[in-house]
Amino acid sequence: MSQTGSNGRSASDRLLLISSDCHAGALPVMYEEYMPRKYHAAATEWWLGYAREMMHRAGTFFDQEAVEAYAEQAGEGGGRMKAMTLPDTRPSDDEILAMLADETSPFAPRRGEFDPTTRLAELEADGIVAEVVFPQMAPFGAGLMQYRHPVPPEHNLEGIRAYNRWLADLCKTNPGRHAGVALINVEDIDVTVKEIRNAKDMGLWGGVLLPTSTGDHPYYHDERYEPIWSVCEELGMPIQSHAGWSPDYGDGPAATPMYISEVDMWAHRPFTALLWSGAFERHPDLKYVLTETGCSWILETLRVLEFKADNPIFKHFTKDLSLRPSEYFARQCFIGASFMPAHEGRDRHAIGLDKLMWGSDYPHLEGTWPNTMEALRETFGTYPEAEIRALLGTNAAEVYGFDLDALAPIAERIGPTLSELRAGA
């Protein structure tokens, strides 16, 4: 049991847990309050189409037996999955709309995803004092799957704005505890820059979610994105990549394995693009975070990039870069390693202890909620205390600017103890 915590702030046995990866999203109808009336009808149409696609996929990919088996394995977190009965007839628009407005429906968000009171209670019951908040599917295809669905750009922008406004309201209910991540698209970069400024002004300080796909636009090595890197550095908004987007793998039996196998890869790509574009060189104070894409992969990626960087033809194109790929990573990149399975945790020193942040992925089924303590024990139970405190909380505080002094009393009340974490490890 420690007398002085490694961060010099706490003499307590309690741990201060910040989840660097949580998700929030409203019931579709709730976004109307945050969106000009003229877009409401189109938004409803979009949600109908999206829900039909989800239902079609669920029906194609799963049989009831599979749903039950998965729910059983996923434990209490699988409650919603268990409740899901696959529709065997084609529901009407009205039935779908009712489902989308009903928090108990398998196709709508859980209450904790949009209700701040429920959310805070569930986070605290899981031992978490503060969080970084990523989206669910937002109106008009905005969010993690940006550019997966063809949507008129004007509509997509309204979806982004509605989500950001809604999220800002959610986050301000518990100041200092929800670092909301703002959505953007990459249609008109001047407009995007304004949205980023608005987001910061509205109180979203968790950074900016960089769409994993750029749609029909050039990828992120292109110079057109320079104003985004610039404004994010100026405002101290981390650039975020988060797994989620993929191309459409279709309806066949191998579609889901392909998605699960490749989804991280798509979200890793912007790192390489920002690197060679010189974004890190020109913006040394820009922070870039890769979230829920694993962490051990960065070792192989850096190995390859370091090797490629020595290619003589390569050097001609990178002569303005003063640092090596690993040095840029060390200076300004971070990994939201989410649940961080034990075998990935073993690479923590090679990656850099100050580079990694744990996250519960609340409220997703694949995350640790509501059994976070159990998952923490498995990976972190035997780590030295200083490493535990860094990985589970203080690193995230440093990257995002959470106020540890303000959060400490909450951790004293709801944080798990080091002894609990060590129990059985």
Check residue 221 for interaction with a copy of itself (CB under 8 A): yes
CB of 155 to a copy of itself, least distance (A): 25
Give the Cα separation of 227 and 136 in Å (integer): 26
Contact 126, 112 (CB under 8 A): no
Check residue 312 for interaction with a copy of itself (CB under 8 A): yes
Number of residues that bind a copy of itself (CB under 8 A): 53
Would you tell me the crossing angle of helices 226-235 and 189-202 to the nearest 10 degrees? 20
CB of 304 to a copy of itself, least distance (A): 7
Check residue 345 for interaction with a copy of itself (CB under 8 A): no
Check residue 305 for interaction with a copy of itself (CB under 8 A): yes
CB of 7 to a copy of itself, least distance (A): 31
Check residue 2 for interaction with a copy of itself (CB under 8 A): no
Check residue 403 for interaction with a copy of itself (CB under 8 A): no
Check residue 69 for interaction with a copy of itself (CB under 8 A): yes
> Which member of 169, 264, 385, 398 binds a copy of itself (CB under 8 A)?
264
Check residue 282 for interaction with a copy of itself (CB under 8 A): no
Give the Cα separation of 389 and 386 in Å (integer): 5
Check residue 313 for interaction with a copy of itself (CB under 8 A): yes
CB of 255 to a copy of itself, least distance (A): 7
DSSP 417: B
Which candidate, 424, 408, 372, 339, places its Cα nearest to that of 125?
372
CB of 309 to a copy of itself, least distance (A): 8
Check residue 37 for interaction with a copy of itself (CB under 8 A): no
The stretch among 17-25, 302-310, 348-356, 404-412 that binds a copy of itself (CB under 8 A) is 302-310
Neighbours of 185 (CB within 10 A): 23
Interacting residues with a copy of itself between 228 and 257 (CB under 8 A): 247, 249-250, 252-257
Residue type, 108: A
DSSP assignment of 345-363: HTTHHHH-GGGEEE---TT
**Closer Cβ to a copy of itself, 6 or 318, answer by number:** 318
The tokens 């998605």 sit on which residue? 259
Check residue 8 for interaction with a copy of itself (CB under 8 A): no
Check residue 60 for interaction with a copy of itself (CB under 8 A): no
CB of 274 to a copy of itself, least distance (A): 10
Check residue 276 for interaction with a copy of itself (CB under 8 A): yes
Give the Cα separation of 395 and 212 in Å (integer): 24
Check residue 277 for interaction with a copy of itself (CB under 8 A): yes
**Structure tokens belonging to residue 337:** 């390693």
**Structure tokens belonging to residue 34:** 């945050």
Contact 71, 54 (CB under 8 A): no
> Which member of 66, 83, 121, 350 binds a copy of itself (CB under 8 A)?
66
Contact 418, 373 (CB under 8 A): no
CB of 74 to a copy of itself, least distance (A): 7
> Which member of 99, 193, 258, 373 binds a copy of itself (CB under 8 A)?
258
Check residue 269 for interaction with a copy of itself (CB under 8 A): yes
Check residue 311 for interaction with a copy of itself (CB under 8 A): yes
Give the Cα separation of 91 and 98 in Å (integer): 11
The tokens 């877009």 sit on which residue? 39
The stretch among 6-14, 23-31, 183-191, 271-279 that binds a copy of itself (CB under 8 A) is 271-279
Give the Cα separation of 213 and 220 in Å (integer): 9
Check residue 349 for interaction with a copy of itself (CB under 8 A): no
SS3 sequence of 9-27: CCCCCECCEEEEEEEECCC
Check residue 68 for interaction with a copy of itself (CB under 8 A): no
**Structure tokens belonging to residue 106:** 């398998």
Check residue 378 for interaction with a copy of itself (CB under 8 A): no
Give the Cα separation of 406 and 176 in Å (integer): 8
Contact 108, 27 (CB under 8 A): yes
Which candidate, 212, 233, 152, 163, places its Cα nearest to that of 187?
152
Give the Cα separation of 405 and 280 in Å (integer): 31
The stretch among 12-20, 181-189, 276-284, 385-393 that binds a copy of itself (CB under 8 A) is 276-284
Residue type, 121: A
First to last CA, the chain: 15
**Paired strand residues for 179:** 132
Check residue 61 for interaction with a copy of itself (CB under 8 A): yes
Binding site for a copy of itself (CB under 8 A): 61-62, 66, 69-70, 73-74, 218-219, 221-223, 247, 249-250, 252-258, 260-262, 264-265, 269, 272-273, 276-278, 294, 296-297, 299-300, 303-305, 307-308, 311-314, 316-318, 341, 343, 366
